Structure 1
Amino acid sequence: MHLDHDPAAPAADAIAFDDFLKVDIRIGTVISAEPYPEARKPSVKLQIDFGPAIGVKKSSAQIAALYDPAALVGRQVAAVVNFPPRQIGKMISEVLTLGFADTEGRVVLFAPDTPVPNGSRLF
């Protein structure tokens, strides 16, 4: 599937509310982050704590252009937690960390503006 990162692109086709509910987007806190030079695009390996119900999950996020891995530890991020795991280079990415493209196409992380409990679901 190709995602259009152009802010001028038209909205995607309408979906049913039940389809939206199938996408499980949760908040977690980054507990470790390290460069991931083996990925095709500049990426960071993350371990994210989503609380007791989901636990700690791994993610390969294409965020190296804007984020120093050391500065990510302790930061809350949003991620889709119910996609199947995906092979990214040599690692298995278990969740899709969410972000938006800036004017230069770099990924800006999506997160709450105040802390919320790990595992909180987007609604």
Structure 2
Amino acid sequence: MNHELISWDDFEKVDLRVGTILSAEPYPEARKPAYKLTVDFGEKIGVKKSSAQITVHYSLDELIGKQVIGVINFPPRQIGKFMSEVLVTGFADENGDIVLSSVERKLPNGARLC
């Protein structure tokens, strides 16, 4: 795989923030199994919605209160009948199933990756 180098300015354009999942619900209409998440990114950014294909490693109940890392400056994306406002980040495991990116200690919602 060829890795294209980017500048620091390019990296700074991606706005990665910490948010806390307030609610998670099934999204049976999605083409691939997914949940609809509501994530609090703090007072300045607010509460945003995201669709996440994380059904293999997470139950709905265990997601509530979990802090995740999201890209908040992508344009909203229509996913079926649902408008996803942020991209919740994660990594694919050996089977291609997503494991969420998270922080090791509790942080204020809206804290930016630096």
Task: State the TM-score, normalizing by the size of structure 1.
Answer: 0.90
1:105 alignment partner, SS class = coil
The CA distance in 2 between the partners of 1:69 and 1:77, in whole Å, is 14
Task: State the TM-score, normalizing by the size of structure 2.
Answer: 0.97
2:78 equivalent to 1:83: no
Per the alignment, residue 55 of structure 1 pairs with 46
Q: Tell me by how many angstroms 1:12 deviates.
A: 2.5
2:30 equivalent to 1:39: yes
CA contact (8 A) 1:23 1:82 kept: yes
Q: Tell me by how many angstroms 1:66 deviates.
A: 1.2
Per the alignment, residue 90 of structure 2 pairs with 99
The CA distance in 2 between the partners of 1:117 and 1:107, in whole Å, is 24
Unaligned runs of 5+ in 1: 1-9
Percent of aligned positions that are identical: 59
Per the alignment, residue 6 of structure 1 pairs with none
CA contact (8 A) 1:46 1:61 kept: yes
Unaligned runs of 5+ in 2: none
Cα offsets for 1:9-30 (capped at 9, x unmatched): x352001110100000000000
The CA distance in 2 between the partners of 1:94 and 1:12, in whole Å, is 28
Per the alignment, residue 7 of structure 1 pairs with none
Per the alignment, residue 24 of structure 1 pairs with 15
CA contact (8 A) 1:34 1:70 kept: no
Q: Which stretch shows the higher mean deviation, 68-77 or 10-19?
A: 10-19
1:55/1:114 CA distance change after superposition, 3 Å: same
2:97 equivalent to 1:70: no
The CA distance in 2 between the partners of 1:16 and 1:32, in whole Å, is 36
Runs of 4+ displaced beyond 2 Å: none
CA contact (8 A) 1:43 1:64 kept: yes
CA contact (8 A) 1:25 1:121 kept: yes
Quote the RMSD (CA, aligned, Å).
0.8
CA contact (8 A) 1:31 1:74 kept: yes
